[in-house]
Amino acid sequence: MSSPQSYRPQVSNDLSGRVALVTGGGTGIGLMISQGLAAAGAKVYITGRRLEVLEKVAAGWDKQIGGQILALQTDVTDKASIASTKKYIEEKEGKLHILVNNAGQTGPRSPFLSDPSAPENRNAESVGMSLFNNESFEGWAEHYTINSASIFFVTNAFLGLLAKGSEDEAGYWSSVINITSISGVIKLAQEHFCYNSAKAAATHLTKMFSTELALKNIPVRVNSIAPGIYASEMTLDEIKPEQVDQVGKGVQAVPSKRAGTGQEMAGTVVYLVSRAGGYVHGQEIIIDGGYTAVNPSTI
């Protein structure tokens, strides 16, 4: 039976001694996550294409809070870059406990979808041909590469190191968290069919990874988090209450009437990768202020 001390939040959520890698960890939601993991005691490597952005974040981290944040330039759409990053972590740490697949972008958009009076929405022919002409196979392929395929390649590259991390403490497995989106479960296009379908693919990748690893007795947990309206480079640097529904583009307003906070995002990740969330496998936690409760979705 667990000791009374193990039920204290500061014990069950403590990430001291854990090594984490957060893709796209220098801005927006990735930054919220990186700082939350470090504050909980983890050593956090943040990756991205723009080294100067990563280094600024790392240099600005107050180590008195706890943990560490280290910059590591990586392109998650390039296998050689992923392999190079894996080799670096292997040489420096020899293992990995936490992988957060967060890197992503918005992709092709068709803004006229949200404007009932737009001429493109006049009839079936105009809607269909406007979407056909406005977007491209190349745009869709590029978007799927970063928003879903990168999860496949990055996770597989680090799988051996994650399994190695699970050897540190019996029953305390390493963890993969895929940052998806409510757009992957919402049946509205929200002006971007491509983004929403790619995020749905990321959600299903989470479930497939969890099942395949379990069947192969690989001690790595895989879960995902689907954020609702959060400030980021893909939305706005700051989202005021009156802007929430403009960003969400739902048919009903967000019940919480505000954007999500960094504390809520980071706290959800810390829960899933810590001892507190150690019994969670193959699940997606939606943190959306009630968006999916009042808008058409697949859940």
Does 121 fall in a domain? Answer: no
Contact 233, 31 (CB under 8 A): no
**Among 110, 150, 181, 232, the one annotated catalytic:** 181
Q: What integer pLDDT is reported at residue 107 of this predicted model?
A: 85
Strand residue runs (E) in 19-169: 19-23, 43-48, 68-73, 98-101
Low-confidence ranges of the chain (pLDDT < 70): 1-11, 234
Q: What integer pLDDT is reported at residue 10 of this predicted model?
A: 60
Dihedral of the CA atoms 191, 195, 197, 201 (nearest 10)? -160
Q: What integer pLDDT is reported at residue 12 of this predicted model?
A: 80
As for how many domains the chain has, the answer is 1
Does 45 fall in a domain? Answer: yes
Q: Say how far apart CA 266 and CA 15 lie, in whole Å.
A: 13
Decide if 95 is catalytic: no
Which residue bears the tokens 């280094």?
A: 55
Q: What integer pLDDT is reported at residue 237 of this predicted model?
A: 78
Decide if 87 is catalytic: no
Does 298 fall in a domain? Answer: no
Does 186 fall in a domain? Answer: yes
Q: What is the pTM of this model?
A: 0.93
Q: What integer pLDDT is reported at residue 30 of this predicted model?
A: 96
Does 126 fall in a domain? Answer: no
Range of the domain at 45: 12-110+142-293
Dihedral of the CA atoms 14, 57, 25, 288 (nearest 10)? 70
Q: Which residues contact 136 (CB under 8 A, 6 or more apart)?
A: 108
Does 136 fall in a domain? Answer: no
Q: What integer pLDDT is reported at residue 203 of this predicted model?
A: 98
Q: What integer pLDDT is reported at residue 238 of this predicted model?
A: 86
Return the structure tokens found at 137.
């196979």
**Among 199, 230, 271, 274, the one annotated catalytic:** 199
Q: What integer pLDDT is reported at residue 233 of this predicted model?
A: 72
Does 299 fall in a domain? Answer: no
Q: Say how far apart CA 100 and CA 28 lie, in whole Å.
A: 14
Decide if 181 is catalytic: yes
- Look up the CATH number of the domain holding residue 28: 3.40.50.720
Q: What integer pLDDT is reported at residue 6 of this predicted model?
A: 47
Does 120 fall in a domain? Answer: no
Q: Which amino acid is present at 8?
A: R
**Among 195, 230, 271, 291, the one annotated catalytic:** 195
